[in-house]
Amino acid sequence: MMMTEGPGRDMVVQSPDLSFVRHGFFTRLGGVSEGPYASLNCSMRSGDDPAALAENRRRVAATFGLDAGRLLGVTQVHGAHVVTVTAPWQAGRGASADAMVTMRDDVALGVITADCAPVLFASRDGRIVGAAHAGWRGAVGGVLEATLEAMEALEVLPGDVVAVVGPCIAQTGYEVGTDMRDAALCADAEAAAWFSPGVREGHYQFDLAGYCMSRLRRAGAGQVTSVSLDTLTDEKRFFSHRRRTLAGGGPIGHQISVIAAGCGAELHL
């Protein structure tokens, strides 16, 4: 489910399930980067022009009514570590982690993706929020459950949390080998439900969004949905690692997904 209507909405997708809190799954549109990074690339490690990258992140922060220095991110490593944000840090200096939670309403939490699943979390009163980067390794490793646990440490029960899975690669395009499936099943036998036979022998199609939602529901999250958007096939709106690989490689940009705590849900678009 999503809403993208209105002026400026081409740069961001929002979920009606998080309509009570400031949030956005940003697309690749609305920035100033050029070439393979066009145009709203927000990855600090992408190799993009630093000035263009700074302007892109400034634009994202401005939609939340914040200065660029208040848009926070971590150094994503496909793990399950979660940072509880108590104070902002310098851009590019975030800890090695794949999720953040906070009660502060003067910062925004951002995760970078280009096929992995961005997952945004909020307590039903909007007082506590979280953002997680969930590739298959992070999801299997427990990053989503760890995010719920970090929110619980801030005194919100999982049953009072709304979680939305953002744009990511769809099952139809996510072909994986036996080694990846075996690794996932070794860690979580219930992951088998999210693999279907692939077109090629010895390969499978993995439903990353479905698996993330399953993990969240098993962990007791109160409401779990997905925006159901495929980064691989929607080239106009999203960067995609798999698309880049199929095209022979080269530089790539990344989109950002952001959430902020506090009263008010409207973005400045």
Residue 162, domain member (yes or no): yes
Q: Which domain holds residue 127?
A: 17-260
Residue 9, domain member (yes or no): no
Q: Return the percentage of the chain with pLDDT > 70, whole number.
A: 97
3-state secondary structure of 47: coil
The per-residue pLDDT for 4 is 41
The secondary element (H helix, E strand) that includes residue 143 is helix 143-153
Q: How many domains does the chain have?
A: 1
Residue 4, domain member (yes or no): no
The per-residue pLDDT for 108 is 98
Residue 135, domain member (yes or no): yes
The per-residue pLDDT for 143 is 98
Residue 152, domain member (yes or no): yes
Residue 12, domain member (yes or no): no
| Whether 15 contacts 229, CB under 8 Å | no
CATH number of the structural domain spanning residue 169: 3.60.140.10
Whole-angstrom distance, CA of residue 188 vs CA of residue 174: 19
User: pTM for the full model?
Assistant: 0.97
Q: What's the pLDDT tens digit per position in 61-112?
A: 999 999 999 999 999 999 999 999 999 999 888 999 999 999 999 999 999 9
Q: Predicted confidence band at 1 (pLDDT cuts at 50, 70, 90)?
A: very low
Residue 266, domain member (yes or no): no
The per-residue pLDDT for 87 is 96
Q: What's the pLDDT tens digit per position in 158-203?
A: 999 999 999 999 999 999 999 999 999 999 999 999 999 998 999 9
Angle 59-208-13 from CA coordinates, rounded to 5°: 25
Side chain identity at residue 42, one-letter code: C
Q: Which residues contact 150 (CB under 8 A, 6 or more apart)?
A: 82, 84, 99, 101, 130
The per-residue pLDDT for 13 is 97
| Whether 146 contacts 81, CB under 8 Å | yes
Q: Predicted confidence band at 8 (pLDDT cuts at 50, 70, 90)?
A: low
Structural tokens at position 150: 């970090």
The per-residue pLDDT for 263 is 83
Residue 161, domain member (yes or no): yes
